[in-house]
Amino acid sequence: MTTLLSGYRLGSLALPNRVVMAPMTRVRATADGLATASMATYYAQRATAGLIVTEGVQPSLVGQSNPGTPGLHTDEQAASWRPVTEAVHANGGRLFAQLMHGGRVSHPDTTGLQPVGPSAVPAVGEVFTPTGPQPAPEPRALETHEIPEHAESYARAARRAVDAGFDGVELHGANGYLISQFLSSNANLRTDGYGGSVAGRIRFAVEAAAATVDAVGAARTGIRLSPGGTFWGVRETEVPELYAALLAELARLDLAYVHIEATTDEPTLTALRRAWPGALIVNPVMPMGPKQADRAAADHWLGLGADLISFGRAFLANPDLVERLRTGAPIAPVDEATFYTGGDNGYLTYPAYQYAA
C-alpha cells in the first residue's frame, strides 16, 4: 500500500518518504545572488524530506524576478551553493535546484535590464524591486532568433547546479514566469513557431527541457507546471489539450518527474496523471491560497495516483514536518510577515515540536 511515509525510487535517488519540500521564494541571498550560510542551515534543517526543491534560482541576470534571490549564472554563485548542498547531504537529504526565469515578471530596477517575454504584454500587478513594489513594466518581445538562447540558459544553470552538488534541477514552468508565459494565450501573442497553436505554445517549454536533459541527463531534470493557473495575469486556452500535448512531448525526454500544482479542476488533473507515464509530484492545494497542504490532502492525491506530495508553507514553520506527519503532532502556523523580510527571524527560528512531559 502506498503511504506518504513509504519510500520511493526517483531515478537513482532512494527517497525515504514521499514528502517533497516545495520551492518557495525567501529572498535571503546576497545582493549579487550568492547563497549564504543561513540558507545552508535552512535547507539542512528540512533534510528529512524525501526531496527538497529550492526556491527559484535565476539562470541569467535578465531572468531574475525579485531582488534578494539566488542565481546560478556565475561561477561565484555556483560556488556559494556548495556549502548548501553539502549541509543537506550531511543531514541525509536530497536537493534539486529550481531554475526560474522570471521573463516579464521583473523590473529594470532589480536587474538593470528591460524584462523580456514572448510578447510586449506586461504582467498584471506590481513586481518587487529594491525600493518596493512597482507596476510591472512592459517587457521586450523576444526575437525568434533569441529564444533558443533563453532555453539554453536553463541548461547552463543546470550544469552549474550539478557541479555545485545538487542532485538535479526543476524547471519552473508554472505560476506566470517565462515558460508559463509561452504556454499562455494572452501573454504569448506570437505568430511565429513559438505561439498561436498548442504546438507553438509548448515549443519553448520542450526546448528548455530538452536542452537541460542534454546538459545534465533526464534523471536529473524535472519540471513544475500550473495547468490553468492565472498567476501574474496569464490565461491559458485549451488547458486539457495544451497540457496533454506538453506531457506527450516531455515523455519523450524521460524526465525525472513532473510537478503539478492544483490550479485547475480535479478531473483535468487526474487525466494528466493518466497521460504522464513517469513520476508525478502533486502540490495538492492552490499555492498561496487559503488552505495549506495537510495529511488529508496528501493522502487524497496519493489515492488518485500521485507518487509524491509537495508541501509549501507547512515546511516554513515546521522544519521537522516529516516527523509531525508521522506522529500526528500539530502543524505550527507560519508567520507570513517574515516571508520576505530577510534575516534569520522567521527563517531559522522555527523550532522542532516539543513533546510535553
Average pLDDT, rounded, for the chain: 96
Q: Which CATH number applies to 8-338: 3.30.9.10, 3.20.20.70, 3.40.50.1100, 3.30.360.10?
A: 3.20.20.70
More confident residue, 353 or 33: 33
Q: Indicate whether 356 pLDDT > 70.
A: no
Of the ranges 74-78, 207-211, 339-343, which one carries the lowest mean pLDDT score? 339-343
Q: Indicate whether 293 pLDDT > 90.
A: no
DSSP 204-258: HHHHHHHHHHHHH-GGGEEEEE-TT--GGG---SSHHHHHHHHHHHHHHHT-SEE
For residue range 51-62, what is the model confidence (pLDDT) as tens digits?
A: 999 999 999 999
Q: How far apart are CA 25 and CA 39, in angstroms?
A: 12
Cβ neighbours for 235, distance < 8 A, ≥ 6 positions apart: 184, 185, 186, 187
Q: Indicate whether 355 pLDDT > 80.
A: no
Q: Indicate whether 4 pLDDT > 60.
A: yes
Provide the residue ranges of all domains of the chain, joining segments of one domain with +.
Answer: 8-338
Query: Residue 134: phi, psi to the nearest 5?
Result: -140, 155
Q: How far apart are CA 331 and CA 294, in angstroms?
A: 9
pLDDT of residue 9: 97
Instruction: Name the percent of the chain lying above pLDDT 70.
Output: 99
Q: What is the dihedral of CA 263, 266, 268, 270, to 10 degrees?
A: 120
For residue range 130-161, what is the model confidence (pLDDT) as tens digits?
A: 999 999 999 999 999 999 999 999 999 999 99
Q: How far apart are CA 139 and CA 151, in angstroms?
A: 17
For residue range 228-258, what is the model confidence (pLDDT) as tens digits?
A: 999 999 999 999 999 999 999 999 999 999 9
- Among all chains, which residue has been given the C-alpha cell 543531514? 91
Q: What is the DSSP letter of 284?
A: -
Catalytic residue among 42, 154, 177, 243: 177
Q: Indicate whether 303 pLDDT > 70.
A: yes
Question: Can you say whether residue 176 is alpha, beta or left, with left for phi > 0 and alpha for psi between -120 and 50 degrees?
Answer: left
Instruction: Name the percent of the chain lying above pLDDT 90.
Output: 95
Q: Indicate whether 69 pLDDT > 70.
A: yes
Q: What is the pLDDT confidence band of residue 357, given thresholds at 50, 70 and 90?
A: low
Q: Indicate whether 290 pLDDT > 80.
A: no
Catalytic residue list contains 353: no
